[in-house]
């Protein structure tokens, strides 16, 4: 039953909105519009699958679409923060060259719709594959107009050495900024962004700690973004 239902449900007329995506769900001759704060084709596919399953269980298409409008993104996975009049901040767990590239590519239409720059804040984990560090920086440079290199989980490594490895992948290293302290990097990126810019905070996503020299200190990208947005609103 689920297979038959999913074959008759499809997402069409997909487009980016100022703070998410809009598309139409069609089931035979019925349709329902849906606007969500989730972004990316994969999220549209996921929502379509959820809708197909719920419709197969007997729920009305309109009711299902209405319920899905309020579904939040998974924490740290294309998670949108900010309010109208502020830069749009996206937090994502992307921590490989491929993930950085795919995330920035998925955000390009949204950044273009807003008419601003894409700013990418990213770091690389210590005690992990060093070969991906320059590749991650190169992927960010390819798609983002501004780059801020910072710490991720440096673990036992010197954060400055990690940043030097990343720098090696940049064609125009002078165009990137380096801020070793991740909290400061997030604060500065949000503070300096224009209202129509999009800021991607990549690498840690849902994590609630930062590991430095064997100690996991409390750290949340979400909390630091919210603090930066609040500070920005108080000093405009």
Cβ partners under 8 Å of residue 17, min gap 6 = 35, 113
Report yes or no on whether pTM surpasses 0.75: yes
Provide the greatest CA pair distance for the chain. 60
CATH no. of 79-234: 3.90.190.20
153-185 residue pLDDT tens:
999 999 999 999 999 999 999 889 999 999 999
Exposure string of 198-207, with b = 16+ CB inside 10 Å and e = fewer, is: bbbbbbbbeb
Place of tokens 């060093």: 130
For residues 57-68, give the mean pLDDT. 94
188-215 residue pLDDT tens:
999 999 999 999 999 999 999 999 999 9
Task: Please give the mean pLDDT across all residues of the chain.
Answer: 94
97-110 residue pLDDT tens:
999 999 999 999 99
End-to-end C-alpha distance for the chain, whole angstroms: 55
Residue 233 CB neighbour total at 10 angstroms: 11
**Per-residue pLDDT at 236:** 64
What residue spans in the chain does CATH classification 3.90.190.20 cover? 79-234
């Amino acid at each position: 039953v689920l297979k038959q239902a999913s074959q008759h449900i499809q997402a069409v007329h997909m487009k980016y909105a100022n703070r998410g995506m809009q598309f139409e769900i069609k089931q035979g001759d019925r349709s329902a519009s849906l606007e969500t704060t989730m972004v990316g084709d994969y999220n549209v596919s996921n929502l379509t699958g959820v809708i197909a399953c719920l419709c197969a269980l007997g729920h009305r298409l309109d009711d299902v679409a209405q319920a899905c409008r309020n579904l939040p993104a998974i924490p740290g996975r294309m998670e949108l923060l900010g309010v109208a009049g502020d830069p749009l901040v996206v937090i994502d767990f992307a921590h490989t060259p491929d993930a950085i590239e795919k995330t920035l590519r998925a955000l390009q239409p949204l950044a273009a719709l807003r008419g601003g720059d894409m700013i990418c804040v990213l770091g690389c984990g210590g005690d992990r594959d060093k070969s991906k560090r320059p590749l991650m920086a190169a992927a960010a440079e390819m798609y983002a107009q501004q780059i801020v290199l910072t710490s991720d989980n440096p673990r036992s490594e010197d954060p400055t050495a990690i940043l030097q490895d990343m720098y090696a992948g940049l064609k125009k290293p002078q165009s990137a900024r380096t801020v070793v302290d991740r909290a400061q990097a997030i604060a500065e990126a949000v503070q300096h962004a224009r209202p129509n810019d999009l800021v991607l905070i990549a690498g840690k996503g849902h994590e609630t700690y930062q590991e430095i020299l064997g100690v996991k200190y409390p750290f949340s990208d979400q909390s630091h973004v919210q603090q930066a947005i609040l500070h920005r609103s108080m000093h405009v």
